[in-house]
Chains A and B, each alone.
Chain A
Amino acid sequence: MNRGSRWIPYGLLFGCLLAALLSASLGETFISPVRVFGSLTGAGSEAEAMIVEKLRLPRIVTSLLAGASLAAAGAILQGVARNPMASPDILGVTGGASAAAVAFMTYGLGVLSIRWLPVAAMAGAAVAALLLYAFAWKKGVTPLRLVLVGVGMSSLMSAATTMMIVFNPRNDAGQAYTWLTGSVYGANWEQVLLLLPWTAVLLPAAMLMKRHVNISQLGDEVATSGGSRVQRVRFLQLMLSVALAGSAVAVAGAIGFVGLLAPHMARKLVGADFGRLLPVSALLGAWIVLLADLAGRTLFLPLDVPAGVFTAAIGAPFFIYLLYVNRNQ
């Protein structure tokens, strides 16, 4: 590890802040960065303060939180599956969260408060992950079977989701569909508060497992002789990943490929040590989603393209590149 990489997290943090500032000032109405600060401290005009505080800021914070969660979920999952292709969306975990979230919005909202939405999405993600594990289990789980079964699982989940959208009694198919692509469109502070507690608890919890993750990367035998309870740790990791992905999907929809892209970039930047990989992944994920949303909001004005379209546009070719690089394995 070279000494320069110590500064990478700070650089990324700075990058996120810069992107946030940019995102707060760009849009249908341009507000210069200076005036953004002004309106935050209450010095600017009322209209600008309203745009920044009510419209743009919640969107920025939601992007950051959702991106960080998805990226962390991916980093954990890649460790568990010991497969660089494993990401929550390819394996159908986000698909399960989407299906459950759409089901909750369609049938559950009258009965339960919106605060239960992340829980519902997490439950969906957990069910998908457990089914995946169960179907792929045959005297153990090999990465190959996990990925192939995951591909089937994700199409099953997306069929379920589409069915519910098509038959949505409230008939707001368009809205649900945009949400499904992964969009922080119309995010408000309520949504931020919906997501923030989960991210604030789950990310540090994932950090606490760094020693176990590092050991488990050496293989099951080494980990066991090193005193790590492999199966239990693996299960805990899986659940953490599922909870992170689920909570992000509940608020921001299934923003694809972030869980794949960010951990890879992070590994290139700081290496495989989980204690460094996780925070850098999270920061990169936050940054990617924020930029994707910024691009979606501003490039095609007055249209608002879902952030998920941009993450897929970068992520899918990247995935293909990974396939190509790993072609001889």
Chain B
Amino acid sequence: MSAGAIRGRRAAGFILGGLALLLGLAGSILLGAMNYSPETAWDALFRYDPNVTDQIVIRTTRLPRALIAAAVGASLAIAGAIMQTLTRNPLASPSVLGINAGAGFFVVSASVLLSVSHLQALMWISFVGAAAAAGVVYILGSAGREGLTPIKIVLAGSAMTALFASFTQGVLALDRQSLGSVLFWLTGTIAGRSPEMLATVFPYMAGCWVAAWLLARGMNILLMGEDTSKGLGQRTGALKIGIGVIVVILAGGSVSIAGPIGFIGIVVPHMARYLVGTDHRWVIPFCGVFGAALLLLADIAARFIMIPEELPVGVMTAALGAPFFMYIARRGIGKS
């Protein structure tokens, strides 16, 4: 790709992503079981009158939901992008490598068995679960002479996913009362989450978005190969640990709010790289914007597919993302 073509694509991608994000935010606030007019939404945001029911609904339900979708989508997409760089594997993402499942299991166990309900505590527990899964998968995937091969890390991830999934099922079988409330969350949903949840996790997420962008130059060099990276004076060990921590916080934080939503982390980075090339200083912001937009749109679609019921958005993203995953797997993983 020539420099001019890349610049053109970046501009196009920027406009496209920005539009999709705005459209998603607007749609998420206006559309649903009740449709609201843009004027009502405008009033609710800027001329809030607590006596008007519509405005209350927008402020307490629709707006938090839109913001949560955007934050979680951006986080998962960025986590996926930097995982794909770290493992040099186009199939890597928080869901495929079992990180979401690990965080999910820890959160379910803590809330069902130990009755933890404090948001801050649940968030940290989710981080721990994500870190445990990520550590095991990374160590297993990189053991052996050839180091990190795609097949090894994907298999390790799917084994961990299966392990955590059945443990979660076991915990839920112990306590059937909580099953109904947890089941929806376990599929991945952003409906009915409280704004406090977002407020708890958001500072960490935002910090990680910035940190990921600051590490972008290092990741560009890492992509050239570990030896080159070391030769250029980069501390690869520290960089990798940094990336790992960011992934754990982004994925763990997302799970603690919205449950294990899959495949955003694999679809979006590929879209972003297609548009803006492999430079992480561009890939990461674009992943943020596209990830937010995609999850917003998926969440809107989830409200309309089975009216009057709402689909868990995790089902939507899996229906979109799993075929994409298979397409990437089929195309051959050496090439990307």
Contact = CB atoms under 8 A, between A and B. Distances in A.
B330 A312 contact: no
Contacts of A308: 166, 169
A149 interface: yes
A163 B140 CA distance: 32
A174 B174 CA distance: 11
User: Per DSSP, are chain A's interface residues mostly helix, strand or loop, or mixed?
Assistant: helix
B318 to A, nearest CB: 3
Nearest to B177: A174
A305 B169 CA distance: 9
Contacts of A313: 163, 166-167
Contacts of A305: 170, 173-174
B179 interface: yes
A180 B186 CA distance: 14
Given A163-B312, A181-B169, A149 B329 contact: yes
B15 interface: no
Interface string A71-99: 00000000000000100011000000000
Contacts of A267: none
B265 to A, nearest CB: 13
A160 B314 CA distance: 11
A148 B173 contact: no
B179 A173 contact: yes
Interface stretch (B55-63, B154-162, B194-202, B249-257): B154-162
A309 B315 contact: no
A37 interface: no
Contacts of B151: 144, 147-148
A268 interface: no
A48 interface: no
B170 A316 contact: no
Given A155-B262, A159-B187, 11 more contacts: A147-B155, A148-B151, A155-B322, A162-B187, A162-B315, A174-B179, A177-B173, A183-B173, A309-B166, A323-B155, A328-B146
B250 to A, nearest CB: 20
A78 to B, nearest CB: 14
A151 B172 contact: no
Nearest to B318: A159
Q: Which 3 A-B pairs have the closest CB atoms?
A: A327-B144, A316-B163, A159-B318
- Which of A166, A174, A309, A328 has its CB near the most chain B CB atoms (within 10 A)? A166
A158 B260 CA distance: 13
26 contacts: A135-B326, A135-B330, A144-B151, A147-B154, A148-B154, A151-B325, A152-B322, A156-B318, A159-B187, A159-B319, A162-B186, A162-B187, A163-B311, A165-B183, A166-B187, A166-B315, A173-B179, A177-B173, A181-B173, A300-B174, A303-B174, A308-B169, A320-B140, A323-B152, A323-B159, A328-B146
B177 to A, nearest CB: 9
Contacts of B314: 159, 162
Contact of B329 (A85, A152, A162, A167): A152
B184 interface: yes
Contacts of A234: none
A163 B174 contact: no
B309 interface: yes
- Which of A148, A160, A174, A300 has its CB near the most chain B CB atoms (within 10 A)? A148
A285 interface: no
B162 A256 contact: yes
A177 B326 contact: no
Interface size class of B (residues with CB under 8 A): 35 or more
A156 B323 contact: yes
Given A151-B154, A152-B323, A256 B166 contact: yes
A306 interface: yes
Contacts of A90: 155, 158-159, 162
Contacts of A167: 306, 309
Interface string B197-215: 0000000000000000000
A306 B170 contact: yes
B122 interface: no
Interface string B167-194: 1011011101001100110110000000
A177 B183 contact: yes
Contacts of B262: 155, 159
Contacts of B21: none
Contacts of B140: 320, 323-324
Interface size class of A (residues with CB under 8 A): 35 or more
B148 to A, nearest CB: 11
B38 to A, nearest CB: 32
A328 B144 CA distance: 5
A162 B182 CA distance: 12
Contacts of A154: 158
Contact of A152 (B143, B184, B326): B326
A4 interface: no
A135 B173 CA distance: 35
A166 to B, nearest CB: 6
A172 to B, nearest CB: 10
B88 to A, nearest CB: 15
A257 interface: yes
A217 interface: no
Contacts of A152: 322-323, 325-326, 329
B330 A136 contact: yes
A35 interface: no
Contact of A257 (B156, B162, B172): B162
Contacts of A165: 183
Interface string B206-239: 0000000000000000000000000000000000
A116 interface: no
A232 interface: no
B95 interface: yes
Interface string B287-317: 0000000000000000000100101101100
Nearest to A163: B315
B305 to A, nearest CB: 10
Contact of A316 (B162, B169, B309): B162
Contact of B162 (A85, A89, A153, A166): A89
